[in-house]
Amino acid sequence: MLSLFDALAAKREGLSMAQRIYDAIVVGSGATGGWAAKELAEKGLNVLVLEAGRRVNPREEYNMLAWPYEMPYRGFGNRAELERTQPIQSRNYACNEYSRKWFVNDLENPYTTPPDKPFFWIRGRHTGGRSLQWGRQSYRLSNFDFKAKSHDGSGDDWPFSYEDLVPYYEKVERFVGISGREERLPQLPDSIFLPPMNLTCGEWQLKKAIDRMGDRWRRLTIGRVAILTKPIHEGTDNFRAACHYCGNCERGCDTKSYYSSISSTLPAAERTEKMVLVPNAVVSHIVLDKKSGKAKGVHYVDALTREHREAFGRVIVICAGTLESTRILLNSQPLEGGDQGLCNSSGVLGHYLMDHAGGGGASGVMPTLTTEYQGQYGRANGIYIPRYRNLDEGSKQQKFIRGYGFQGGSNQSLQMGRGLAGFGSEFKKKVREWHPWTINLGGFGECLANYENYVCINRDVVDAWGIPVLHIDMAFGDNERNMVYEMGESAGEMLEAAGAKEIRVSHGPTSVPGILIHEVGTARMGDDRKKSVLNKFNQAWDVKNVFVTDGACYVSSANQNPTLTMMAITARACDYIFEEFKAGRI
């Protein structure tokens, strides 16, 4: 029996793409593409979703409960093949024998960088995109972020405030499901929460030590994650079960307990029967109508046959991921010619690339905890310490502006027994008794928006489908390096206060851009069309029926994980798209 996806695809094949004009074309099916498809289809628009990668069949491909002995390489993978075909992707912990299929082949998807400025572009091309393997940490931004320039004078404010986005944060959180604990911190607004996961004993010890420090801004809380701690949408087609703590999220979730577009927003969109999803459609550029000056569709390459095709729509919503969305715009040409890309009258398209800076933190052991205190194995979450630097008015105590947050945790490692001597029952006894509690904190710091961090098209190199690739030129500056050094100092201080021993402090080096997978910017929003690509509703200034709603629209990176905000921005943009569409203005 055909799935609804396949039935709709078959229906599409019966109607020539050249004959049909969709109300909206959504490019990408990940976290933001799924939300765009759901919102627009539920509002009654006919939506075409183009996904560059293959269709994923969860029943056949998820392997969250597979044991190492079930895998050809016992879970270690073929390292030679990984390093040959995925030298960049395999730098990510989740690109392993179980999950490498969720990452691109680097040989087919090249890009270039200056020799002295590496950038690790981690990507997934398949239905669901990176929502299948993301870390699910979900934090709101505040006006310390949206109005950062007003706070410290650096960079630019976003063209809307936190208050403008609150209804859309709430809409996303209710549908997705975010577990966490209320803290009432102005720098980290609370979400609508499902019950929080529990802290471990080591984490409680650290929390109490931080509370004793008396810093009104500093707080330890459980991570806020898009993982269900109780079932949601019971009695509906959107039903999703609570997490059962198997701890293998990156392999795909059979119970739909963590948010991915393939288990949540895309099925909601397909139930409207207003959405058609076409996989293996590698979009190269936007096609303009010479009479109206508006976009009339997109040009794409069939990933399997290499045929060139066009799809037509009244609105184009680009949700391909920060860098891929900008690549599409840069590969598109305006009617008046030129080689600077579409929607680039401001000259800032491709500029202001950002990624979070890491590399600073600390780790140690907790000697006061023994094996009688049990950890929480399989909890796919950790602790979070929100930003606590540079929040007071006129704060000048640091050698950097903005701030950072910490993620980490404390637990017993089941692997440390490998170094013990012994044999038989004596060895087993040692293993049972010797499970030291470890603790760690790793920083995620804000990257300042810098015009000199940019991407452009390298027309001398093409991908497997003949499309010119991106050249990425980005490096962290002194502000990020100073921040990373201070991360180490501060993390070490907190672990020492908690009673940790054998503390190892890292002051860097600062992480390579891209490796934290929070790349944003390059098609920024703004109030001034001379300084931005998009207006406050993610609408391109130059081509009014083109919208970009993923991380490319970011004005500043903040220090929180970006995906929740991207989804909320997409929901907000879709409300605007629908009203403009209904009024005949786009």
Q: Which amino acid is at 327?
A: R
Identify the residue whose tokens are 């800032």. 348
Enter the tokens of residue 349.
């398209």
- pLDDT attached to residue 427: 81
Asked whether 472 and 112 are in contact (CB, 8 A), the reply is: yes
Cα gap 272→276, rounded to integer Å: 10
- Whether the predicted pLDDT of 40 surpasses 50: yes
* Residue labelled with tokens 């809380």: 221
| Mean of pLDDT over the chain | 93
Banded model confidence at residue 15, pLDDT cuts 50, 70, 90: very low
Question: What would the pLDDT profile of 209-248 be if each residue is shown by its tens digit?
Answer: 999 999 999 999 999 999 999 999 999 999 999 999 999 9
As a whole number, mean pLDDT of residues 99-124 equals: 97
Band (336; pLDDT cuts 50, 70, 90): confident
At 395 the pLDDT is 59
Residue 186 tokens read as 């102005």
Domain count, the chain: 1
* pLDDT at residue 418, rounded to an integer: 61
Q: Is residue 294 domain-resident?
A: yes
Q: Is 300 helix (H, G, I), strand (E, B) or coil?
A: strand
In the chain, the percentage of residues whose pLDDT exceeds 70 is 94
Nearest to 21 by CA among 277, 315, 281, 293: 315
Look at residue 285 and tell me if it is in a domain.
Answer: yes
Cα–Cα dist 143/134, whole Å: 25
Q: Where are the beta strands (DSSP E) in 253-294?
A: 275-278, 281-288
Asked, for residue 437, whether it belongs to a domain, the answer is no
Where does the pLDDT of residue 429 fall: very low under 50, low under 70, confident under 90, or very high at 90 and above? confident
Identify the three-state secondary structure at position 281: strand
Per-residue pLDDT, 1: 32
> Would residue 73 count as lying in a domain?
no
pLDDT digits (tens, 9 = 90+) for 520-569: 999 999 999 999 999 999 999 999 999 999 999 999 999 999 999 999 99
pLDDT category at 9 given cuts 50, 70, 90 is very low
pLDDT at residue 3 is higher than 60: no
- Rounded CA gap, 189 and 364, in Å? 30
pLDDT value of position 207: 98
Which residues on adjacent β-strands are paired with residue 525? 534
Three state DSSP letters for 399-445: CCCCCEEEEEEEEECCCHHHHCCCCHHHHHHHHHHCCCEEEEEEEEE
498/211 Cα distance (integer angstroms): 10
Give a three-class secondary structure readout of 339-364.
CCCCCCCCCCCCECCECCECCEEEEE
Q: Which of 28, 256, 248 is nearest to 125 (CA)?
A: 28
Percent of residues, the chain, with pLDDT higher than 90: 88
Does residue 417 form part of some domain?
A: no
Range of the domain at 53: 16-61+117-177+259-347+522-586
Alpha-carbon distance of 172 to 161, in angstroms, equals 17
pLDDT at 18: 54
The pLDDT value given to residue 397: 64
- CATH number at 307 reads 3.50.50.60
| Entry pTM | 0.94
Can you tell me the mean pLDDT for 118-125?
A: 98
Q: Which string of b and e fits 256-286 if b means at least 16 CB within 10 Å? A: bbbbbbbbbbbbbbbebebbbbbbbbbbbbb
Q: Report the pLDDT value the prediction gives residue 141, as an integer from 0 to 100.
A: 98
Average pLDDT over residues 135-155: 97
Residue 398 pLDDT: 77
Q: What is the mean pLDDT of residues 386-412?
A: 89
Quote the CA–CA distance of 135 and 130 in Å, as a whole number: 10
Determine the average pLDDT of the residues in 372-377: 68
DSSP readout, 71-120?
Answer: STTTTS--HHHHHHH-TTGGGSTT-STTTGGGS--TTTS--B--TT----
- Residue 338: the pLDDT is 75
- pLDDT given for residue 542 in this prediction: 97
Q: Answer for the pair 44, 22: CB distance below 8 angstroms, yes or no.
A: no
CA distance 323 to 508: 26
Please give the average per-residue pLDDT across 95-101, as a whole number.
95
Least confident among 57-61, 279-283, 502-506, 571-575: 57-61
Domain membership flag for residue 131: yes
Does position 412 have pLDDT exceeding 90, yes or no? no
Could you tell me if residue 270 is inside a domain?
A: yes
- What is the model's pLDDT at position 417? 58
Q: What confidence category does residue 299 fall into, taking pLDDT thresholds of 50, 70 and 90?
A: very high
Q: Which two tokens stand for residue 551?
A: 């991380």
Helix (H) or strand (E) holding 209: helix 201-212
Is residue 178 pLDDT above 80, yes or no? yes
Rounded to an integer, the average pLDDT of 470-492 is: 98
**Buried/exposed 290-319: b ≥16 CB within 10 Å, e otherwise:** eeeeebbbbbbbebeeeeebebbbbbbbbb
pLDDT(16) > 60: no
Whether residue 467 is predicted with pLDDT greater than 70 in this model: the reply is yes
Residue 273 is assigned to a structural domain of this protein: yes
416: confidence class by pLDDT, cuts 50, 70, 90: low
Query: Facing residues of 275 across strands?
Result: 47
